[in-house]
Structure 1
Amino acid sequence: MDPAEAPPLLDDLTPMEKKVIEGARRGVRTGSGTTESAEALATTDDPALQVRADLLRELLMGRRGELDPRGVSIRGFRVMGRLDLDQVSAVAKLELTKCALPDGTSMRGARLRDLFMVGCVVSSINGDRLRTEGNLKLQGISTSGPIRLLNARIGGQLDLDNSLLKNPAGPAVNMDSLLVTASIFMRGVKATGTGESGTIRMRSAQVNGQVEITGSRIENTSGPALSAERLRVDNSLHLKRSTFSGCDSHSTVRLTSANVVGQLSLEQATLRNSRGAALHADHLKTGGALHLMGANMEGGGTEGVITLFGAQIDARVVLTKMALTGETGRLLNLANATFKQPLTMPSSLICRQAETNTGKRRCASSDRKISVRGFVFTDLEDITWRQWLHLLVHHTNKYFPQPYQQLAATERAAGHDNNARTVLIVQQEDLRRRAPEALGGLAALWRHRIWGWLGRYGYRAHRLVATLLLALVLAGALGYGAGQVTTRPTHHAAERVLPATAPVDAPGTACSTAELIGLGIDRGLPIGATGLRSRCDLDTGTRWGQAFTYAIWVLQALLWALATLAVAAYTGLVRKPA
């Protein structure tokens, strides 16, 4: 601003305002000496407890002479009028302690050193496009309107610890596209907002340090509690021991496409949502661990109480001791998620269904559903492969082959080939149970069922060999039985072969037991022969002989099929991960 166009300096300064100027020049804090609370100061008429906002602006602009580097520091005053620091390039820092700013403050496009508001009551703060060289400390403040820091750049840390933040007409804190060089601290905060934008907004914000929203209570009666889509945190994101209450069809805590270089922790956090998911973190990326141990999640939507669709977690994932409450079937959505380190899950997900019309709470095992289509992990901890397999069969909302293949691959990589085969067998059974249309018509279903009974879908080839041997025993039994059936006097359905020159009415000669058993095996074998039929054979000229011949033909066809399947099973030709 041209000095000629600058507004004139305040001339009717009060004695207290003169002390404020003198204190700024000497670098000491000016106190009002009052013991009144900041809330009481908001309505005081005592001139000794008042400082005009325009004077603070003049001081920060350097229009009251050279100031001490320690800046302007006042305690226990009511700031009269709106503290307008728009576009101000401050020459010193500003520190307000236990002051009241009933008309709020605006710092749009300002360039400040450090700004401290500690224990103050302020109606609202508009810091869009604010730039600070150092810290922005809003510790222990109380607001009745929004704090806006859109596109702001904080050169140090942002501190909102122990603050009481309220906005009846929108977000309590809006930090979209904020850049913080250090860390954000919101420990012990109580924040209440309204609307679909969320109570605390951090969309597309970037924090070069860590973010701590711990021991806090964040509420929204008509939207999400925390909206942090596309948030980038170069250290860790801690939401531990905090309560997030929302009413949004999407979620209470939104971390969609967020990127956390360190760990993400929601240990012992409580997330509640009567209309949608509790935690929505689709496409989340973390370079550190994901800790949900001891978290209490309550959701009311169809997407899942926790949804991590397409998430990528590069370190440990700890999901133990969670309590999940859902009004619908699905609780956990891990579809297309990738966990690159061992996964620690509860052996049984805790579920508390909403009350039914009869007033009773219902939670059957079939109600606990998770979605794991495309889910990728390297190892399992705490939960065994059998428990995970049980979860896939009984607690997923739909059949998908990939989770079974993933579990089998994980067990095979650990050297547990037998476990892997068991997983793939159960997969085929689940396929027939929940997706029979993928197999074809009724005949295909029966073929699939028989194939499962005979050879366990090719993953238990020894069962085929055992069945093959049983069929050979049955063939031998048929041969022996044919030698015991009389067709006419002195003749049997199976007997010694008479010479071609023997008369037609020549008496028959019984075969030995070994010959009869060998006859059955010889006729039943798909390939090869023992040569016994040249000495002992079925008399196909009789009805009994023909009956035994037909029976052995059936066995021979079965033996052909079993032998073929056994060879195919051992070579892996019939193993299909459908």
Structure 2
Amino acid sequence: MNIDELSSPERRLWEAFPRGESVDLASADQGLNDPGGADRWGPERTVRAEVLVALLVGAVAAEPGQVAAVRLSGARVVGPLNLGHAEVAAPLALTGCAFDEPPQLYWAKMSSVHLMRCGLPGLIASGARVDGHMWLEGSRISGGLWLDGAHITGILNMSGVHLVNPGDDALLADRLTVNANVYCDQGFTADGEVRLPGARIGGQLIFRGARLHNPPGVALYASRLDAAANVFCDGGFSAEGEIRLRGARVGGYLSFVGAKLVHPERTALNADDLAVETDVYCTDGFSADGGVSFAGARVAGQLSLSGARLSHESGTALGLQRLQAEELLLRPAEAIKGIADLSYARVNLLRDDAGTWPSRLQLDGLQYENLEPPLTARERLGWLRRDTDGYQPQPYERLAQTYRSLGLDADGRSILLAKARDRRSTQGLPLKTIGYLQDALVGYGYRPFRAASWLIGLLAFGTVVFSLHKPGVLNADDSPHFNAFFYTLDLLLPVGSLGQEGVFAPAGIYQWIANLLVAAGFVLGLTVAAGATRALSRE
């Protein structure tokens, strides 16, 4: 490059570069320094991009004992800034600058890149390696920010950045690697899709207070994201469009505290197969207009939906199928509008609130060790009977087992009795008839002492009948005095003898009555004995 052709601002930059000194071309009138109005900036604030390229690729050497750098503020950069595949040893630090064309940093090797409060019609840094920080704080980038396959050894700071590319990729960062934290906070906005699939982040991913807008598509696509520490989507975070974290891994905790997600009649949050090393918080004002799914997710600690508001009335508002978590806190601010699917989930402790149970549940295959609060069997039956799939045996058995493990055997039996009764509604008329009989007699075996009442009733009935119609004597020479009460009791007892049954023999219809008393006594007596045995064994 012929230095004699440099303009006054370019010559200033050229002379400052060997010592790494800053060149400030900004106006004293701060109202004229907005990069959005750079078309009004005159030649005194204009620098050709080719001058920057020449300096960065070695046209001028650093002065001895100095670190050469491009440090420029308040300039309009015209022409293509093309550093594709270049090796750049000098830092690039531009503040409040405006670009006419998207800078090209693809597959470049940079020492550090600072483009702060700049206006760019795009930035292409696919495959670039930055040995240091990449600082884009406060910049406005339209046309897309491309960081796919890039590797940044320090921090990626996009605090306050405005990405504008409606209907397309606002941020394309597939397979991005950042060794430290990624900041998308302090007013970060994106109009278009933010893509981080397969990205690897060595620190925290921070979307605190960010606003993402890409209806009706995907607002944040971060499937298979690997974050070594915490992920924050809180502090006023909002998204119009789907948040997709399918198969992502979070080494710390995941926070959606107070977040507002909007994707009506579709999936608002897809966290299927997510793996989180500690906790997930969708709490304290978290709201989702659309489905929230943690199907197949693995949460080492707590998944909390305390104070949440979930709405997807035409489908599954909360999908927890096959979830594995130490604790599930399902106490939303109001009843979930839509289906809550907990089928085949496995949690150690399930905390819920009867006042906010969804009207529609799916519970088949759900496994839990403890319930808080356990509630009474009658109250918990209202929970089971909200299952949209109708009668399923496993939820009853799981609940009964939990009650028994808590020492609430009576509640456990009540649940199993309800299971038998609800199963009866699915059977044909013959089995229903038998079921009603079993229920009336012994409560399907879960009310064994009800049989004692029947025995007392039959004893009274037999005493009256045989008092009025004394049975005949088999052996007149050797017969005890007939007693209708003891004779009936002898018929009813399945074991032993009181010396009456073998001596007296009724005839006709009374023989049928005697035989029915014998059969009923056998069945009912064994039922009472079995119930007594279980009661004694529990003691």
* Correspondence for 2:485: 517
* Structure 1 residue aligned with 2:430: 443
Matched, 1:15 2:1: no
* Higher deviation after alignment, 152-161 or 383-392: 383-392
Give how far 1:50 is off: 1.0
Indicate how the Cα distance of structure 1 residues 9 and 443 shifts in structure 2: closer, same or farther if over 3 A, else same.
farther
Letter in 1 for 2:359: R
Counterpart in the other structure of 1:369: 360
1:244 correspondence with 2:227: no
Give the corresponding residue for 1:394: 386
Tell me the equivalent position of 1:33. 26
Q: Give secondary structure in 2 for the equivalent of 1:172.
A: strand
CA deviation vs aligned residue, 1:38-75 (integer Å, no higher than 9, x gap): 33453135111111111112222122222643622111
Q: What is the distance in 1 between the residues matched to 2:100 and 2:424? A: 69
Deviation at 1:151, TM superposition (A): 1.0
Q: What is aligned with 1:161? A: 159
Query: Which amino acid in the other structure matches residue 133 of structure 2?
Result: N
Structure 2 residue matching 1:527: 3-state secondary structure = coil
- Counterpart in 2 of 1:533? 501
Equivalent position SS for 2:138: coil
**2:292 is aligned with 1:306:** yes
Amino acid at match of 1:324: L
**Cα pair distance change 1:154/1:366, threshold 3 Å:** closer
Q: Report whether the alignment pairs 1:346 with 2:340.
A: no
In structure 2, relative to structure 1, the CA distance for the partners of 1:110 and 1:10 (3 Å cut) is farther
Q: In structure 2, how many angstroms separate the alpha carbons of the residues matched to 1:85 and 1:570?
A: 88
Checking the alignment, whether the CA contact within 8 Å between 2:309 and 2:333 is kept in structure 1 is no
- How far does residue 25 in structure 1 lie from its aligned partner after superposition? 1.6
Q: Is the partner of 1:315 in helix, strand or coil?
A: strand
| Residue 346 (structure 2) aligns with | none
Query: What SS class does the counterpart of residue 203 from structure 1 fall into?
Result: coil
Shift in Å, 1:294: 2.3
Aligned equivalents of 1:148, 1:346: Cα separation in 2:
41
Q: Superposed, which structure 2 residues align to 1:456-475 within 5 Å? A: 456-458=443-445, 460=446, 463-464=447-448, 466-475=449-458
Larger CA deviation: 140-149 vs 35-44: 35-44
Residue 196 (structure 2) pairs with residue 202 (structure 1): yes
CA distance in 1, matches of 2:198, 2:376: 39
Q: Which has the higher strand share?
A: 2
- The amino acid across from 1:293 in the alignment is T
- CA distance in 2 between counterparts of 1:60 and 1:383 reads 69
- Correspondence for 2:56: 60
Superposition RMSD in Å: 3.2
In structure 2, the partner of 1:331 is 317
Sequence identity, in percent? 25
Write the distance in 2 (CA, Å) between the matches of 1:118 and 1:382: 53
Residue 494 of structure 1: aligned partner:
470
TM-score normalised to the size of structure 1?
0.80
How many residue pairs match? The answer is 511
- Counterparts of 2:389 and 2:498, CA distance in 1: 56
How much does 1:331 deviate? 2.1
With over 3 angstroms needed to count, the CA separation of the structure-2 counterparts of 1:530 and 1:322, relative to structure 1, is: same
Whether the 8 Å contact between 2:492 and 2:520 is mirrored in structure 1 is: no
- Using the alignment, how far apart are the partners of 2:105 and 2:197 within structure 1? 21
**Is the Cα–Cα contact under 8 Å of residues 330 and 371 in structure 1 kept in the other structure?**
no
CA contact (8 A) 1:179 1:207 kept: yes
Contact (CA 8 Å) 1:339, 1:376: kept in 2 or not? no
* 1:402–1:471 Cα change, 3 Å: closer
Aligned residues of 2:361 and 2:386 also touching (Cα < 8 A): no
CA distance in 2, matches of 1:181, 1:430: 57
* Counterpart residue identity of residue 64, structure 1: V
Q: How does 1:218-367 map to 2 (within 5 A)?
A: 218-240=212-234, 241-246=236-241, 252-300=242-290, 305-340=291-326, 342-346=327-331, 349-351=334-336
Q: What does 1:543-562 correspond to in 2, within 5 Å?
A: 546-562=508-524
Distance 2:376 2:118 in 1: 56
Q: Which stretch has the larger CA shift, 473-482 or 165-174?
A: 473-482
Equivalent residue number for residue 181 of structure 1: 179
Cα deviation 1:75-134 (Å, max 9, x = unaligned): 111111232121111111111111111312121101111111111111111111111111
Q: Is the 8 A contact 1:135 1:155 kept in 2?
A: yes
Partners of 1:309 and 1:42 in 2: CA distance: 50
Deviations 1:286-333 (A, max 9, x none): 111111112443445xxxx21111111110221111111223253212
TM-score, normalization by structure 2: 0.85
2:209 paired with 1:215? yes
Q: Which runs of 5+ in 2 are unaligned?
A: 339-354, 535-539
Shift of 1:350: 2.9
Matched letter for residue 57 of structure 1: V
Whole-angstrom CA distance in 1 between matches of 2:520 and 2:333: 45
Q: 1:118 to 1:411 in 2, by over 3 A?
A: farther
Find the residue that maps to 1:116 and give its secondary structure: strand
Deviation at 1:263, TM superposition (A): 0.7
Q: Deviations over 1:439-496 (max 9, x none)?
A: x5333344445545555555x3xx21x23322322332133112342xxxxxxx1257
Secondary structure of the 2:314 match is coil
**Equivalent residue letter for 2:162:** L
- Counterpart residue type for residue 330 of structure 2: M
Contact kept? 1:236, 1:262, Cα under 8 Å: yes
Question: What pairs with 1:125-140 in structure 2 (closer than 5 Å)?
Answer: 125-140=123-138
SS in 1 for 2:197: coil
1:75 maps onto 2:73 in alignment: yes
Q: Aligned partners of 2:318, 2:175: CA distance in 1, in Å?
A: 30
Paired residue secondary structure (1:272): strand
Can you list the C-alpha shifts for 1:340-365, whole angstroms capped at 9, x where unaligned?
2x322217743468xxxxxxxxxx99
* Residue 365 to residue 323, structure 1, CA distance change in 2 (3 Å): closer
What is the one-letter code of the residue matched to 1:288?
T
Shift in alpha-carbon separation, 1:520–1:501, aligned structure 2, 3 A: closer
Aligned to 1:359: none
1:554 and 1:10 mapped to 2: Cα distance? 120
Structure 1 stretches lacking a partner, 5+ long: 1-7, 247-251, 354-363, 486-492, 503-508, 541-545, 573-578
Q: 2: distance between equivalents of 1:425 and 1:90?
A: 77
